[in-house]
Amino acid sequence: MRRPTEHMGPFEAVNHFFQHAAEIARLSDSTVSVLSGTYRELRVQVPVRHDDGRMQVVYGYRVQHNGARGPYKGGIRFHPEADLEEVRALASLMTWKTALVDVPFGGAKGGVQVDTRGMSEGELERMTRRYTDQIGHILGATRDIPAPDMNTDAQTMSWMLDQYGRKYGHTNQIVTGKPIALGGSQGREEATGRGAVIIADAALADRNGSAEGATMAIQGFGNVGSWAARIARDRGYRIVAISDEFGGIHAEQGLDLGEVRAHVAESGSVVDCPGTEPIGNDDLLRLDVDVLMPAAIGGVITHENASEIRADIIVEAANHPVTPLADEELYEAGVTVVPDILANAGGVTVSYFEWVQNNQEMHWDHDDVVHQLERKLTTAYESCRDYQQRHEGISKRQAAYALAVDRVVEAAALRGYL
């Protein structure tokens, strides 16, 4: 296996993990070349009319990586770094994630490369509608189904559903992560954060620990980080640090999350929350905690800081927060890293439940969703652990990829793709 370098791009990094699994599974060269490329990449121009009349031209993408196991599935991100390379990486992660948790979807991702800070609601709506028009012809309830990701939410999905419906007819299942009033599922908004905490519990139990009194630091206080914090606190964790793009806060005795949420509602950031000490995003990653949960952007744990990580367990709630080189170093240092394709799969799992409910025109209650989510994620976690125990010297990430790759290859071969 080629030793990873620190300068791999995000798609190259995901493919590095895939290729290791391909070696374990002894895949043929042609299979490797199919699965390490993407099926379709769409780049579209998205002119956005601002409230002051000015026109800004941004670019959007939708990348479909692999559809052997079902319709393409993956979120839409609005972010300055959402370029084609990043969206490709995220699309391929979705292929492995949906296979690992065994939901019948393929992998895709979308993005608009834009800084949404300071954009008005009207500007966001016009941009979302224009982007939906430009990519609509490759979407479909049995073809490709978007969902929220960074800087997009249930409102964004409502605009997408409405815009798609104007051209193609009302289609409930065209997006997931919708508001309940438009056919969304109970428990979807919190699902990724909840899933990450379910996985943290399982990883702690494997190291003979438990949630009660365990310390946790979380980078990112958006959808995923804020729900993870709340659910972890309710399960007995002590949340000692939280951050966002502006900086972080620290309180060794545990943060008062009610106070933090009120401060964020008022100021737009966790920074300077009363009763806390300031901490930088870099220092948060170096805290001596039981569980470290990156829940913001990719590439934050690298060769530069891997040797300074003091957490026992890293739960990758964000996508690709650990570079391949850092991943090897953490494994050698005995840190448990639960990979993104398992740790943040709660979102796509409940998206699948939403799609099922829409197809059946049924509504599950919150307890049903939570119960089914626990069951799916625990099964996926246990299969990874069993695989790891059967194959000496491999990490949780390698086990997760090996299981996912097996399933995608089987479906692709049965269809005659390979």
DSSP summary character for residue 312 = S
Does the footprint of ligand NAD cover residue 329 (CB under 6 A)? no
User: What's the distance, CA 147 to chain centroid?
Assistant: 11
109 part of the active site = yes
- According to CB under 6 A, which residues from 244 to 273 bind ligand NAD? 244-245
Of 173, 319, 323, 398, the one binding ligand NAD by CB under 6 A = 319
Does the footprint of ligand NAD cover residue 151 (CB under 6 A)? yes
Structure tokens at 364: 């599950």
Does the footprint of ligand NAD cover residue 388 (CB under 6 A)? no
Residues with Cβ within 8 Å of residue 26, at least 6 apart in sequence: none
User: What's the distance, CA 258 to chain centroid?
Assistant: 25
Render 106-168 in DSSP notation, one character per residue. Answer: -EEEEEEE---TT--HHHHHHHHHHHHHHHGGG-BTTTEEEEE-TT--HHHHHHHHHHHHHHH
Q: Which is nearer to ligand NAD, 157 or 318 (CB)?
A: 318
Distance, in Å, from the CA atom of 318 to the CA atom of 313, rounded to the nearest integer, reads 14
H or E stretch covering 204? helix 191-206
Q: Which is nearer to ligand NAD, 380 or 412 (CB)?
A: 380
Of 318, 325, 384, 409, the one binding ligand NAD by CB under 6 A = 318
Q: Which is nearer to ligand NAD, 269 or 378 (CB)?
A: 269
Query: Catalytic residue among 73, 109, 178, 396, which?
Result: 109
Q: Which is nearer to ligand NAD, 125 or 410 (CB)?
A: 125
CA angle at 116 for the pair 13 and 284, rounded to the nearest 5°: 55
Cα–Cα separations (whole angstroms), residue 29 to 54, 99, 353: 50, 21, 36
**Nearest approach, Cβ of residue 89 and ligand NAD (Å):** 10
**Nearest approach, Cβ of residue 206 and ligand NAD (Å):** 22
Q: Which is nearer to ligand NAD, 27 or 75 (CB)?
A: 75
Which span (123-131, 132-140, 144-152, 362-370) binds ligand NAD, by CB under 6 A?
Answer: 144-152
Residue listed under structure tokens 């799969």: 345
Beta bridge partners of 249: 242, 278
H or E stretch covering 43? strand 40-49
- According to CB under 6 A, which residues from 14 to 33 bind ligand NAD? none
**Nearest approach, Cβ of residue 343 and ligand NAD (Å):** 9
Of 60, 220, 299, 339, the one binding ligand NAD by CB under 6 A = 220
Per-residue binder mask for ligand NAD (CB under 6 A), 273-302, x = binder: --------x-------------xxx-----
Distance, in Å, from the CA atom of 264 to the CA atom of 11, rounded to the nearest integer, reads 33
**Nearest approach, Cβ of residue 350 and ligand NAD (Å):** 9
Does the footprint of ligand NAD cover residue 150 (CB under 6 A)? yes
Of 222, 278, 302, 356, the one binding ligand NAD by CB under 6 A = 222
Of 18, 72, 105, 221, the one binding ligand NAD by CB under 6 A = 221
Residue listed under structure tokens 């042609």: 30
Residues with Cβ within 8 Å of residue 17, at least 6 apart in sequence: 324, 339, 397, 398, 401
Number of residues this chain uses to bind ligand NAD (CB under 6 A)? 24
- Which residues have a catalytic role annotated? 109
Footprint on this chain of ligand NAD (rule: CB under 6 A): 148-151, 192, 219-225, 243-245, 281, 295-297, 317-319, 344, 347
